[in-house]
Amino acid sequence: MTEPNTDDPKQSILVVEDERTLALGIRDALVHSGFEADVAHDGDSGLDMATAGNYDLIVLDLMLPGRNGLELLKALRQHNHKVRVLVLTALSEESHVLQCFEAGADDFMTKPFSPRELVARIQAQFRRSASMSATPPPMLDLPNEIQVDLARLEVHRDGEVVHLTPREGDILEYLIQHNEKVVTREDLLRDVWHYRNPNVATRTVDIHIVGLRRKVEPDPAQPTLIQTVRGKGYRWYA
Ligand code: CA
């Protein structure tokens, strides 16, 4: 499944994980698959590296010495909205996953997993759906003078700039491409998240939709653009 990328520079990944054997196993698997990878073993150095470095994706363990993963994520999203964040969680911490999505995580993976599984998930993060164009459309004009710049992951509303996470951008683009057609949660998990088994974690989709509505809907409490189609999924209607 590895797509050789001769044009682009190597994608660069930061692994923040305090279990050293696991962290190094992940790093080696990433390097073996053609990524550049750095490792941090605690939350504070992880945040320093994440803000100073120019990473494309951060693999973030939740339970860390010092600043924990959720705190790191919140601090990071204050000034970096474009980096993709994949959260690692133990089974017992799955209740934290919702908080992580609300704080701007793009994806999560539950331990235990093999480094190969994680690499496959990371490769999926960078893969665009077959139905998506190579470059996102230019400015999108929505009601109430809301404008969305998918290339920059920015929403301009009420004289302010609101940032979309990469995942929110992907979802929005997918909904728009299926204009007025019903998109199921399974469609989104398969085509946007690239999950092989889309029966897992459909709540993941709903949480991202809530976040997206907050940013692009004129009235997020009464969504008109991203409509819920009861028992089926969602539909873009602009
Ligand atoms: Ca840990």
What is the CA(25)–ligand 1 centre distance, in A?
14
* pLDDT above 90: percentage of residues in the chain: 63
**Each residue's pLDDT tens digit, 5-60:** 445 678 999 999 999 999 999 999 999 999 999 999 999 999 999 999 999 999 99
What is the CA(69)–ligand 1 centre distance, in A?
9
**Each residue's pLDDT tens digit, 152-175:** 899 999 999 999 998 999 999 999
What is the CA(189)–ligand 1 centre distance, in A?
27
Q: What is the CATH number of domain 12-133?
A: 3.40.50.2300
Q: What is the DSSP letter of 201?
A: -
The candidate with the shortest Cα–Cα distance to 116, out of 24, 30, 20, is: 30
What is the CA(221)–ligand 1 centre distance, in A?
37
What is the CA(24)–ligand 1 centre distance, in A?
13
Q: Which residues of 176-186 are buried (b: 16+ CB within 10 A; e: fewer)?
A: bbbeeeebbbe
What is the CA(216)–ligand 1 centre distance, in A?
35
**Each residue's pLDDT tens digit, 95-128:** 788 888 889 998 888 899 999 899 999 998 888 6
Residue 130 CB neighbours (<10 A): 6
For 38, 72, 90, 106, 117, the CA distances from 63, given in Å and listed in that order, are 19, 11, 9, 18, 20
What is the CA(61)–ligand 1 centre distance, in A?
6
**Each residue's pLDDT tens digit, 78-100:** 988 889 999 998 877 777 888 88
- Mean pLDDT, range 136-154, rounded to an integer: 88
Domain extent listing, the chain: 12-133, 136-236
pTM for this model (two decimals): 0.82
What is the CA(39)–ligand 1 centre distance, in A?
13
| Model pLDDT, residue 2 | 45
User: Would strands 107-110 and 139-142 be described as parallel, antiparallel, or unpaired?
Assistant: unpaired
Strand ranges across the sheet with 226-229: 182-184, 233-236, 226-229
What is the number of H-type helices and E-type strands within the chain?
8, 12
Q: What is the CATH number of domain 136-236?
A: 1.10.10.10
One fold for 12-133 and 136-236: no
